[in-house]
Structure 1
Amino acid sequence: MCAYLLIAFVEQRNSDWVPNMMAMLAQSSITFNALAALFGSLSKALDVKTRDTNGLAVSEVNGCNYCLKIHSFTAEHMAKLPGDEIILTRKGHASDPKRDAAVQFSRKVIEFRGNVSDTDLNAEREAGYRDANVMEIVALVAMYSLTNFFNSVFDPEKDFPLVAPAGSI
């Protein structure tokens, strides 16, 4: 989670509250600093709606409920996505055609462990993404997967309400 997410959560709660995931990661300054640098760099990639829909799509595929709640919060409050768009994204699509291509590509990167087809890559290009943008999408997939994995391994106490699996929505 990058600094802007932490600031958003603190502002929302009007306190000095720190999400449990951040407290967990702080146990390793090396890991925390590496993630902070990665989040900081990738916070400049693409636009906020594409980044947040990527986080939702990746967390849904990886089954990380902790991250799904965080990304649902940021998608609603920071990217200003309506609830139905958040659900649509968790189900693997977006209403905007370009973002839809990014969401579908992100899911394929996860599901096929990066072994996407030339057709998949060309679909991104046809949607308007340059190769540099596709690299950013892949980097976002990796970054969000990393936090999903930390949360799955260490299972921090849930400080957000759980969200229902997309298939049951």
Structure 2
Amino acid sequence: MSASVFPDHTLESAPAAARPTMEAVTRKQGYLPTAVARLALSPELLNGFLKMSALFETTTLDPLSRETVIMTMADRNGCHICVAMHTARLTALGADAGVIAALRDGSLLPDERLEAVRQFTLAAIETSGAVDDETLQSFLAHGYTSRNALEVVLGIGAYTMSTLANRMTAAPIDPQLAQFA
């Protein structure tokens, strides 16, 4: 997409409703990610995604399980920015290199528990939430809860917005994330 269709907004050029969020992201990241600069065109989308993402971070799913949901969405939807960003996050969390590689290419995870959340995420997407009893029981058998199943849906919702919007705006990977691309 042309940058004129989805411009790289600055704090000065962005819609007023996006500016506080852009300032907060810049403070937290140390720079303004291009994806945020482009999503700022719709303050509602930008703010909605970041609020949903923040809510997802407060769920009872452990950090590696949350990142598994996110990377499953990023790989499935082909969001190169999300893959790079969440590869960096997984690296910071000390995730196993084999887990990261498998999440990046959508292959079987070497960690059985994380593979269960990956499979559950894919099943929830493919069935529009109507997962069968066997799929749900397999997820629960790996130490997850019914609450976690609903939290996966929250992650799917948040990262559907993010991955689709990032692909639509064609934001490039920022230099700060290049090593994780």
The CA distance in 2 between the partners of 1:87 and 1:102, in whole Å, is 16
Question: Are 2:164 and 1:144 aligned?
Answer: no
Matched residue, 2:103: 89
CA root-mean-square deviation: 2.6
SS at match of 2:125: helix
In 1: Cα distance, 2:102 partner to 2:168 partner: 27
Structure 1: which 5+ runs fail to align?
11-15, 165-169
1:161 counterpart = 2:166: no
Inter-partner Cα distance in structure 2 for 1:135 and 1:63: 24
From 17, 28, 31, the counterpart of 2:31: 17
CA distance in 2, matches of 1:120, 1:55: 19
* Counterpart residue number, 1:28: 42
Question: What is the TM-score when the length of structure 1 is the normalising length?
Answer: 0.79
The structure having more radius of gyration, on CA atoms, is 2
Residue 23 of structure 1 deviates from its aligned partner by 1.3
Query: Number of aligned pairs?
Result: 155
Cα deviation, residue 88, structure 1: 1.9
How many percent of aligned residue pairs carry the same amino acid? 23
- SS of residue paired to 1:107: helix
Seen in structure 2, the aligned counterparts of structure 1 residues 126 and 139 have a Cα distance that, compared at 3 Å, is same
Q: Distance in 1 between matches of 2:103 and 2:45?
A: 29
Distance 1:59 1:39, change over 3 A: same
CA distance in 2, matches of 1:132, 1:103: 16
For residues 18 and 83 of structure 1, the distance between their equivalents in structure 2, rounded to whole angstroms, comes to: 28
Equivalent residues of 1:93, 1:104 under 8 A apart: no
Tell me if 1:116 matches 2:131. yes
The unaligned stretches of length 5 or more in structure 2 are 1-20
**TM-score if structure 2 supplies the norm length?**
0.74
The Cα of 1:119 is off from its aligned counterpart by 1.2
State the Cα deviation string for residues 6-35 of structure 1 (Å, max 9, x = none). Answer: 57983xxxxx41111111222222222222
Label 1:103 to 1:118 Cα distance change in 2 as closer, same or farther (>3 A): same
Task: Confirm or deny: 8 A CA contact 1:57 1:107 kept in the other structure.
Answer: yes
Q: Report the CA distance shift for 1:105/1:7 in structure 2 as closer, same or farther (over 3 A).
A: farther
Deviation at 1:158, TM superposition (A): 2.7
Shift of 1:82: 2.8
